[in-house]
Structure 1
Amino acid sequence: MEPVAFTHNLWLVAASLCVALMAGFTGLSLTKGLSAQSAAHRKVVITFAAVALGGGIWSMHFVAMLGLQLPFVFYYDAAITLASALVAILVVGLALLMLHFGRRTRQKLVLAGAVVGVGIIAMHYIGMSALEMCRAVYTPLGMTLSILSSVVLSVVAFGIAYGKRKHRNILLGTAVFGGAVFAVHFIAVAGTRFEPLVATTQVGPLIGNEALAIGVVLSSFALCGAFLLSTTTFLPADPVAEAKPAPQPAPDAAMPAAQPEPDRTPDPVPGTGKVPYEHDGRTHFVDAGSVAAIRAEGHYTYIYTRTGHFFCAWSIAEAAKRLAGANFIQTHRSYLVNPAMVSGFERLKDTGVCYFGLPDLTKVPVSRSRLKDVREVLGV
């Protein structure tokens, strides 16, 4: 039979792109800071992320296919469609396991991205084989372009999102990943011809494509939203608010206030405290005196030393409390600084900047409220 012309429902096309972006953001955000957690915790979160990311990839494909408009009725085999969803989830889970267990290298990033790229295209063609009352015919050029674009764009997306685990990289990686899944689908469809088959049965789908697409979109957003709300916080916490002590009740006026017990804990000796950090799946310790600065990163921190910067499970408030006797000073709501390692200072009107001669740390901001204290400690 002759191939037929096809169009798309533009509303469902736009909805499929939104699903891809939401799924990418959820999966990449869930795994932020995960390498510092226990193996059991990592496995649980990777399962959530695989369901969100892999399920989102499948949902994007399925919604876009439901938006495909042909001049005859067609529908999908449920078992094959479910199999394509499972392939996407399992492949993404494999890639995340590779990235969050063992040392994360450039080669491993490329391999994980390639695995996801192959998984995306495999999911697409398995899903296309679920078509009923219609046959998809692929061209060699269309298949080659879709495979190459899937692998290359997935590698780029993972390289951006996992190169530096910062909010900006996660957002940019989300945009690239969502765009990659979206582009791969339509590159593959552009290289496909659809031919109607002679109907052998009059049984068709129980609900229309548009209604089914809306259900898939809403389910995807609900699932991603539930995972985000239950396991991650994208916005950084307020370390100043965290550090505020809880208000104490006023003493009874009829009774004399009890005298507090003297603090028998010896004052910590400056520079002798230990700061924990995570590297290669293990917890290490470094002398506080070797730490130049500590930067808040959500509910956690990064420490900067002469050899590099490392993830620390302390919050900025906990770091300030534990290092109270180690001569650290808070220059900004998100920074603690070791004055002994400051190589320069510059005042900028009512704020300032502390400079460091370290490869990973050149300068740290000084807020207006901290400027006077910092200048006094530095003697300027």
Structure 2
Amino acid sequence: MFLDYSLNLPLVLASFAVSLMASFTGLALTRGVSSLPETQRKQRIAMASVALGGGIWAMHFVAMLGLRLPILFYYDALTTMISALVAILIMGVALLVMHFRVRTRSSTVIAGTIAGLGISVMHYVGMSGMQLCVAVYTPFGVLLALAASVGLGIISFSIAYSERTRRNIVLGTLTFGIAVCLVHYLSMAGTNFLPAVTTDPLTTVIDNSTLAMIVTLIAFVICGAFLLLGVTFFPAAPRHPEAIDAPFPDIQESPPAPAKPEQSPNRPFSPSVPYQKDGQIQFVRPAEIAALRAEGHYCILYTGTEKLFSPWSISDAETRLELANFIRCHRSYLINPEHVTSFERKKDTGVCLFATSPGLNPVPVSRSRMGEVRAALGLV
């Protein structure tokens, strides 16, 4: 006969809070990552993976601390540790897809699917570690949890990565945080419990008090990361020196900037493109740029093997570089046809390849831009 069980409402709410904080921390850490050098990019992705995977794990066990059964139960230490590592590893794979592949709709769906499956896999691996109690799943409950995790995972990544703006990251946080909690509680709704009949001595186990301390520590770290990122995530309003208690050094006003030469209102053009490196704003000639890729309100410049962060938006770059013969081949890409070394048509779409910038390949060409790109490449 199945055991009766109940849930502790405060811990249910606490699990949702942990899920939201971990989701925000992981997604906010990845903002602007694609513009970083490869080593720094890997480091940030590793931190984001720990935040997302660890957050999924912490949410699950905060919720499990609120599970009330009429019998004592424990958790196998090794299985519990494996469930955390599995969640971190799967989240890492999903983020690698987003930040080391061309960001297309298909790659977003793949990454969202992987992340969603990671939520479900972590849940069921963690549940398998219960000792003195056996979880019995209904097929409908498992299928519902899997469908919810994959569907919401894809939606979360689609929102968070459609535009890397603060608004999208916040919306992606809400969706992913809800996904983590919903998968857990949908699965629990389709789960029953039986007392385990065993005469074998328990292996190394974690009781609820020890688990509570571990989860509290991890949740504290997630909260700290959440607060630190939250402080810098939204731009602070400028403050007048008189409103600050600490003394300020003398501030000298900069001389007014010289008047800029007038440009054609219809076809503005900049002789150089700004980018940020080593804390300085530097410039590169348009002829040296193979392509630009949108990164939220900014864009990434590809010059040979280098990837440079530019304060221009992709729309601003398109307007300014019109006279330099740059063309829009996709909503996220602006290319210099002189750097294109090969073109491949794929039904109604296509891809451009750049021998001088291998890290850029391949650049997608959308169906609506196909005619313009082919004309610029001399194919029509």
Q: Which residue of 1 aligns with 2:164?
A: 165
Distance verdict in 2 for CA 1:285–1:228, change over 3 Å: farther
Q: Which residue of 1 aligns with 2:32?
A: 33
Distance verdict in 2 for CA 1:230–1:180, change over 3 Å: closer
Counterpart-to-counterpart distance in 2, 1:296 and 1:128: 42
What letter is aligned with 1:47?
Answer: A
Q: Which residue of 1 aligns with 2:122?
A: 123
More displaced, 215-224 or 96-105? 215-224
Counterpart-to-counterpart distance in 2, 1:81 and 1:111: 27
Q: Which residue of 2 aligns with 1:370?
A: none
Q: Any idea what SS the aligned residue of 2:271 has?
A: coil
Q: Is the 8 A contact 1:92 1:119 kept in 2?
A: yes
What letter is aligned with 2:22?
Answer: A
Distance verdict in 2 for CA 1:232–1:34, change over 3 Å: farther
Corresponding position: 1:301 with 2:322: no
Counterpart-to-counterpart distance in 2, 1:121 and 1:15: 20
Distance verdict in 2 for CA 1:59–1:15, change over 3 Å: same
More displaced, 99-108 or 24-33? 99-108
Q: Is the 8 A contact 1:48 1:227 kept in 2?
A: no
Q: Deviations along 1:87-139, whole A, 9 cap, x unmatched?
A: 00000001101101131111101100000111111111111110100011111
What letter is aligned with 1:21?
Answer: L
The Cα of 1:157 is off from its aligned counterpart by: 0.8
Q: Any idea what SS the aligned residue of 2:188 has?
A: helix
Counterpart-to-counterpart distance in 2, 1:189 and 1:202: 28
Q: Is the 8 A contact 2:83 2:125 kept in 1?
A: yes
Corresponding position: 1:156 with 2:166: no
Counterpart-to-counterpart distance in 1, 2:71 and 2:284: 64
Q: Which residue of 1 aligns with 2:12?
A: 13
Q: Which residue of 2 aligns with 1:195?
A: 194
Q: Deviations along 1:140-168, whole A, 9 cap, x unmatched?
A: 11111011011001111111111111111
Q: Any idea what SS the aligned residue of 2:135 has?
A: strand
Structure 2: segments with no counterpart, 5+ residues = 241-247, 253-258, 263-269, 278-282, 288-295, 299-308, 320-326, 334-380
What letter is aligned with 1:9?
Answer: N
What letter is aligned with 2:47?
Answer: F
Counterpart-to-counterpart distance in 1, 2:205 and 2:171: 40
Q: Any idea what SS the aligned residue of 1:233 has?
A: helix
Q: Which residue of 2 aligns with 1:141?
A: 140
Q: Which residue of 2 aligns with 1:80?
A: 79
Q: Is the 8 A contact 2:76 2:131 kept in 1?
A: yes
Q: Give runs of aligned pairs for residues 178-257 of structure 1, distance below 5 A.
A: 178-198=177-197, 200=199, 209=208, 212-213=211-212, 215-223=214-222, 225-226=224-225, 229=228, 233-236=232-235, 247=250
Counterpart-to-counterpart distance in 1, 2:36 and 2:227: 17
Q: Is the 8 A contact 1:77 1:132 kept in 2?
A: yes
More displaced, 78-87 or 189-198? 189-198
Counterpart-to-counterpart distance in 2, 1:208 and 1:56: 20
Q: Any idea what SS the aligned residue of 1:194 has?
A: strand
What letter is aligned with 1:52?
Answer: A
Q: Is the 8 A contact 2:55 2:222 kept in 1?
A: no
The Cα of 1:268 is off from its aligned counterpart by: 10
More displaced, 23-32 or 206-215? 206-215
Distance verdict in 2 for CA 1:34–1:238, change over 3 Å: farther
Corresponding position: 1:68 with 2:78: no
Counterpart-to-counterpart distance in 2, 1:132 and 1:109: 38
The Cα of 1:198 is off from its aligned counterpart by: 3.1
Counting aligned pairs with the same residue, the percent is 46
Q: Which residue of 2 aligns with 1:273?
A: 272
Q: TM-score, normalised by structure 2?
A: 0.64
Counterpart-to-counterpart distance in 1, 2:13 and 2:68: 15
Counterpart-to-counterpart distance in 2, 1:230 and 1:17: 19
What letter is aligned with 1:81?
Answer: T
Q: Is the 8 A contact 2:76 2:204 kept in 1?
A: no
Q: Is the 8 A contact 1:12 1:67 kept in 2?
A: yes
The Cα of 1:209 is off from its aligned counterpart by: 2.6
Q: Is the 8 A contact 1:275 1:286 kept in 2?
A: no
Q: TM-score, normalised by structure 1?
A: 0.64
Distance verdict in 2 for CA 1:190–1:310, change over 3 Å: closer
Distance verdict in 2 for CA 1:213–1:12, change over 3 Å: farther
Q: Is the 8 A contact 2:22 2:222 kept in 1?
A: no
Counterpart-to-counterpart distance in 2, 1:55 and 1:13: 17
Q: Is the 8 A contact 2:275 2:310 kept in 1?
A: no
The Cα of 1:62 is off from its aligned counterpart by: 1.2
Counterpart-to-counterpart distance in 2, 1:171 and 1:158: 12
Q: Is the 8 A contact 1:16 1:60 kept in 2?
A: yes
The Cα of 1:246 is off from its aligned counterpart by: 7.0
Q: Is the 8 A contact 1:19 1:217 kept in 2?
A: no
Q: Which residue of 1 aligns with 2:97?
A: 98
Counterpart-to-counterpart distance in 1, 2:196 and 2:95: 40
